[in-house]
Amino acid sequence: RDGKIHTDSKTKIITVLLYMNEDNWDNSGGRLRILNNGTDLEDYVAEVEPRGGTLIVFKRSDNSWHGHHPYAGQRRAIQLNWVLDQAVVDHEQNRHGLSSWLKKLFPSKM
């Protein structure tokens, strides 16, 4: 779903994004758009450039649409989510533990 228009899952309450990209971000895409609806990426309220140090916080709702145009390259960010219950935390920790293990087995050039 990365890049596509969506709202976050109903198990999230708040999302926090802290961008860690270099200051010389190339402006070729990857800017997060906060949207008015779930169908039009060009109908946006705000656009957030992912420069290092930029912080955005938003509350999840059925209308908290967001997305960005396709971007090829690294988008470095720290993401924090406030979720509703421990089952979500357990699921995410298991999922990311597996992906972390696989990345150690198959490292890619950065």
pLDDT digits (tens, 9 = 90+) for 37-62: 999 999 999 999 898 999 999 999 99
Looking at the domain assignment, is residue 4 inside a domain? no
Looking at the domain assignment, is residue 98 inside a domain? no
Whether the model clears a pTM of 0.85, i.e. scores above it, the answer is no
Looking at the domain assignment, is residue 93 inside a domain? no
Looking at the domain assignment, is residue 5 inside a domain? no
pLDDT value at residue 102:
82
pLDDT band, very low/low/confident/very high, at 92 (cuts 50, 70, 90): confident
| Boundaries of domain holding 74 | 12-84
Calculate mean pLDDT across residues 26-41: 87
pLDDT band, very low/low/confident/very high, at 103 (cuts 50, 70, 90): confident
* Residue 34 contacts residue 58 (beta carbons within 8 Å): yes
Tokens of 25: 């971000």
What's the number of domains the chain is made of? 1
